[in-house]
Amino acid sequence: MTRPFNVTGSLEIHKGDECFVDTRRIALLKLVKEKGSINSASKELKMSYQQAWHYIKSMNELSPLPVIVKQRGGPNGGGTVVTRYGERIIREFDALVEKHNAFKETIDDSLWLCKF
């Protein structure tokens, strides 16, 4: 059966008037974790490095603990690491998205249909 109405909406978490995390920022965190590079992650998301860096800087400034840290030099040339706190943010956001999606599915079409 096709539902005549469906509730849509994406999840965003704000601190004050600023977005702390949303689906795009979480995707960025996941790719930085996987690739160890902001540049590689931004290319895969088809976003500029400047935009990716803005997201990361903003998350780190709004967060009580760093979400991502840059590592300089070393035998592998440095890179970027998602912190344990950043990994927790990813897990918690993913869990909230699942709950949010489940909630949207529970809304009955009869709430939106006028019956005269």
Model confidence over 39-85: pLDDT tens digits?
A: 999 999 999 999 999 999 999 999 999 999 988 766 666 789 999 99
Nearest one of 95, 88, 68 to 11, comparing CA atoms: 95
State the pLDDT confidence band at 113, using cuts at 50, 70 and 90: low
Q: Residue with structure tokens 């600023």?
A: 18
String of b and e for 23-44 (b: at least 16 CB within 10 Å)?
ebbbebbbbbbebbbbebbbee
Helices (H), 1-116: 23-35, 38-44, 49-62, 84-106
Tell me the per-residue pLDDT of 80-99, one tens digit each, with 9 for 90 and over: 999 999 999 999 999 999 99
Domains and CATH numbers, the chain: 12-108 (1.10.10.10)
Residue 22 and residue 108: Cα distance in Å, rounded?
Answer: 26
pLDDT of amino acid 76: 63
Among 30-34, 36-40, 42-46, name the one with the lowest average pLDDT.
36-40
Task: Tokens for 14, please give them.
Answer: 């704000």
pLDDT of amino acid 72: 79
| Angle, vertex CA 106, rays to CA 109 and CA 110, nearest 5 | 20
